[in-house]
């Protein structure tokens, strides 16, 4: 019989050590409900997405203790309009809004903002591959836009293409070595690929450059969970 997570109330397998929904440690007394990172500030041309920290915690712990049946394989980033996990089937899309944004791109195909707005809309509707097309077009027009580079990386992550995701996060860090979302997301990718030392290296840099940020606090909490799971 399944048991209930004391943190979020989700139904979990009786032998699970961590909740697959919120990442709570089921072997210890609850220490309060997990929270998500504050939404990153977004300019007119980007959501500047970061991956859900609770899902990241599950990924990190699973890599360490090999509880693969409970791994959430496709976490989705937090952004302005959509914080739900990516589903296997895309949600219904507002066709009128899509046609409006597509018409704007058709009228001005070399407009970076128009391309990013359409890409953001497609991302919000879980059309990640289509979103990448327009993000990449925007990057051809404005190759140093770090926020859009991070968005491409997160889109690839949702497609489970971790190699491409890492490539874009590292590309963003070449332009801005202290870009917090790129550092945070790169740590999650390294965890997904089983590189725990890489996680420590990247997140140590995040904590160094932005010690009071919500992302750094989340990283600290997840690393503490890792240490506890290894005891």
Q: Which residue has the higher pLDDT, 72 or 42?
A: 42
Residues 218 and 55: their CA atoms lie apart, in Å, by 11
pTM of the model: 0.68
Closest CA to 40 of 158, 222, 213: 213
**Per-residue pLDDT, 200:** 86
Both tokens assigned to 10: 């989700």
State what percent of residues in the chain have pLDDT above 90.
45
**Per-residue pLDDT, 194:** 83
Residue 221 has pLDDT above 50, yes or no: yes
For residue 12, which phi and psi values (nearest 5 degrees)? Answer: -130, 155
Give the range among 40-44, 106-110, 160-164 with minimum mean pLDDT.
40-44
Tell me how crowded residue 158 is: count the other CB atoms within 10 A of its CB: 22
Give pLDDT tens digits for 108-140: 999 999 999 999 999 999 999 999 999 999 999
Residue 85 has pLDDT above 50, yes or no: no
Most confident of 10-14, 20-24, 35-39, 198-202: 198-202
**Per-residue pLDDT, 32:** 34
Task: Read off the pLDDT band of 199 (50, 70, 90).
Answer: confident
Give 30-70 as a DSSP string: --S---PPPPPP--TT----EE-HHHHHHHHHHHHH--GGG
State what percent of residues in the chain have pLDDT above 70.
58
Give pLDDT tens digits for 138-159: 999 999 999 999 999 999 999 9
CA 175-178-183 angle, to 5 degrees, is: 95
Task: Read off the pLDDT band of 163 (50, 70, 90).
Answer: very high
Both tokens assigned to 56: 């990241």
Largest CA distance in the chain: 60
Closest CA to 15 of 27, 23, 6, 30: 27
**Per-residue pLDDT, 21:** 53
Q: What is the mean pLDDT of the chain?
A: 74
Most confident of 69-73, 84-88, 121-125: 121-125
Task: Read off the pLDDT band of 48 (50, 70, 90).
Answer: low
């Amino acid at each position: 019989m399944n048991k209930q997570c004391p943190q979020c109330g989700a139904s979990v397998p009786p032998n699970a050590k961590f909740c697959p929904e919120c990442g709570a440690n089921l072997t210890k007394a609850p220490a309060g409900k997990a929270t998500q990172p504050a939404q990153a500030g977004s300019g007119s041309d980007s959501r500047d997405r970061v991956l859900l920290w609770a899902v990241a915690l599950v990924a990190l712990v699973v890599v360490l203790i090999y509880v693969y049946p409970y791994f959430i394989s496709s976490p989705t980033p937090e952004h302005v309009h959509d914080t739900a996990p990516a589903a296997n089937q895309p949600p219904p899309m507002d066709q009128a809004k899509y046609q409006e944004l597509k018409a704007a791109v058709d009228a001005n195909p070399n407009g970076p903002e128009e391309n990013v707005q359409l890409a953001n809309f497609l991302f919000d509707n879980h059309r990640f591959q289509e979103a990448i097309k327009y993000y990449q077009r925007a990057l051809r027009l404005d190759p140093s836009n770090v926020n859009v580079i991070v968005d491409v990386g997160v889109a690839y992550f949702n497609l489970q293409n971790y190699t491409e995701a890492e490539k874009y996060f590292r590309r963003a860090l070449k332009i801005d070595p202290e870009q917090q979302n790129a550092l945070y997301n790169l740590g999650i990718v390294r965890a997904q690929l089983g590189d725990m030392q890489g996680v420590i290296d990247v997140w140590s840099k995040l904590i160094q450059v932005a010690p009071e940020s919500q992302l750094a606090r989340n990283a600290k909490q997840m690393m503490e969970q890792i240490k506890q799971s290894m005891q």
